[in-house]
Amino acid sequence: MAMTYPHTEIADADVPRAILPFAQHILDTYASETNKVAAIWHSFTDADLTFRPHERASTVGDILKHQVLSERRFFGEFLGAPEPPAAELLPPALSIGEVTSRYVHLARARLPTLAAATESWWLEQVPFFDVRRERIWVFWRRVLHTAHHRTQLSVYLRLMNRQVPPTYGPTADVTWQGADPTRSAEAAARR
Residue 8 lies in a domain: no
Q: Are 180 and 187 in contact (CB under 8 A)?
A: yes
Q: List the chain pLDDT tens, one digit each, 191 residues.
A: 455 666 789 999 999 999 999 999 999 999 999 999 999 999 999 999 999 999 999 999 999 999 999 999 999 999 999 999 999 999 999 999 999 999 999 999 999 999 999 999 999 999 999 999 999 999 999 999 999 999 999 999 999 999 998 887 777 777 778 777 788 898 888 88
- CATH number for position 163: 1.20.120.450
* Tally of structural domains, the chain: 1
Distance in angstroms (rounded) separating the CA atoms of residues 37 and 102: 12
Residue 55 lies in a domain: yes
Residue 10 lies in a domain: no
Residue 68 lies in a domain: yes
Q: Are 47 and 156 in contact (CB under 8 A)?
A: no
> What range does the domain containing 91 cover?
16-171+180-188
Name the residue among 26, 128, 30, 125 with its Cα closest to residue 74.
Answer: 128
Distance in angstroms (rounded) separating the CA atoms of residues 121 and 172: 42
Distance in angstroms (rounded) separating the CA atoms of residues 52 and 49: 9
Residue 4 lies in a domain: no
Distance in angstroms (rounded) separating the CA atoms of residues 107 and 135: 17
Residue 6 lies in a domain: no
Residue 2 lies in a domain: no
Residue 40 lies in a domain: yes
